[in-house]
Structure 1
Amino acid sequence: MLFEETPISGMWKIHTERKQDTRGSFGRIFCEKEFNIRNLVFHFVQWSSSRTIEAGTIRGMHLQLPPAGETKLVKCVRGKIYDVVCDLRRNSQSYLKKIEIPLHEDDDIILYIPEGCVHGYQSLTNNVDIIYFISNFYDADRLGGIRYDDPMMNVTWPLSPTCISARDQALPFFKQGLFEGL
């Protein structure tokens, strides 16, 4: 496993190192020891998946608020997405910094997204599958987020949006103080 730091404090791109032979390949996508060496969260209480049917669909921008904040590992296992993360932690060196990363089923990249960062993606192909490893239990009362088209984030979505849930369309635009305590 190769850990690549990102401009967001505490966020990592994790590259799977594969051993190849005539059968195909093998690689680790998680190792508690490697995470512990870097002081990363390594206890994940929920494993979830997301299936998106139509290219252009946007899911996000979501996070869970304290005390239900969560660290996530995100991997695209089928199709291709455009992943976006923005740091909302007021005391972070990368406060309000944003990263936009394409992820593809064949790129062997896992994103480690720390608690306090808002996250979402757009499907770039039909029939996209994403897996999430999540450090805290889902808490419907602690859901938070920012609208996908918030001018503060200024995301350049690669495709015209084709589908966005009513819940995501109702998310607020960012304003100072909206996420106190992150």
Structure 2
Amino acid sequence: MEGGRGHGRVQPGADPRIRCDGGCGVSGRFEILTTPIDGLRILQRKPIGDSRGYLERLFCMDELQGLVPGKRIEQVNHTLTAGRGTVRGLHFQHPPHAETKFVHCLRGEVFDVAVDLRRGSPTFLHWHAEVLDADNHRTFVIPEGFAHGFQALADECEMLYFHTATYRQEAEGGLNAQDPRLAIRWPLPVAGLSPRDAAHPFIDANFAGVVA
């Protein structure tokens, strides 16, 4: 999917730097795909099916520990978003409560966006987007130091998030989804922003990013 500030379409490929015990590669339950932004990855889940349906593993710490070394899943959230064009985000948490998110779409279809906020990153303020839906069996893995948001491409979208940190109101941060400095190319007119998300200011010229 297209990304911002010089990033074109993803050329997916397995990431050789991540060791996933028993879970990587074509024969495993997950294949880890890279994106144009270093550290931002996609899990291609591999359901096992028969005439009755299928079994799909959404997460396994033993297999995916390499993506979150020294961390564990601390919180799971489930959302329903109504209204095609509705945007949620962009959200992140400041250190020391920064988190990695594993983002799944259970129903509907979304344009899922991550923005690199890592201080000193060569792709600082670049964004990358993936279309997630109930059928493509993809998980967007958004590491610490990124903001996240999405736009609903269907009238009802259910999302499931696994977080490596609990939500802390005092640590929350946000970007304006319509910030011209980001220039995110939302597929539909932006609609349905919450009052909180609509109130996020545009990025200040002095913003240097977050320490990831």
Normalising by structure 1, what TM-score? Answer: 0.92
**How has the CA–CA distance of structure 1 residues 2 and 42 changed in structure 2, closer, same or farther, with 3 Å as cutoff?**
farther
Which residue number corresponds to residue 207 of structure 2?
177
Paired position in structure 1 for 2:182: 153
Structure with greater strand share of residues: 1
Aligned length: 182
What displacement does 1:97 show? Answer: 2.2
Q: Which piece of structure 1 moves more, 123-132 or 41-50?
A: 41-50
Structure 1: 5+ residue stretches without partners: none
Q: Distance in 1 between matches of 2:164 and 2:67?
A: 16
| CA distance 1:126–1:165, shift in 2 (3 Å) | same
Q: After TM superposition, give the deviation of residue 36 of structure 1 in Å.
A: 2.3
1:47 aligns with 76
TM-superposition CA deviations, 1:49-97 (whole Å, max 9, x none) = 1111111111011101111111100001010111111110013343222
> Structure 2 vs 1, CA of residues 160 and 100 (structure 1 numbering), >3 Å: closer, same or farther?
same
- Give 1:23 deviation, angstroms: 1.1
- Give me the identity figure in percent: 34
Cα distance per residue 1:152-177 (max 9 Å; x no partner): 21111111122111111111212332
Q: Does 1:167 align with 2:196?
A: yes
- Residues of 2 paired with 1:68 and 1:38: CA distance? 17
SS of the equivalent of 1:167 reads helix
Match of 1:4 in 2: 33
TM-score (norm 2): 0.80
Name the counterpart of 1:122: 151
Give distance in 2, aligned partners of 1:73 and 1:26: 19
Kindly tell me: are residues 149 and 127 of structure 1, through their superposed partners in 2, closer, same or farther at Cα, counting changes over 3 Å?
A: same
1:94 to 118, 123, 141: 123
Match of residue 14 from structure 1: 43
Contact kept? 2:145, 2:211, Cα under 8 Å: no
> 5+ residue gaps in structure 2?
1-29
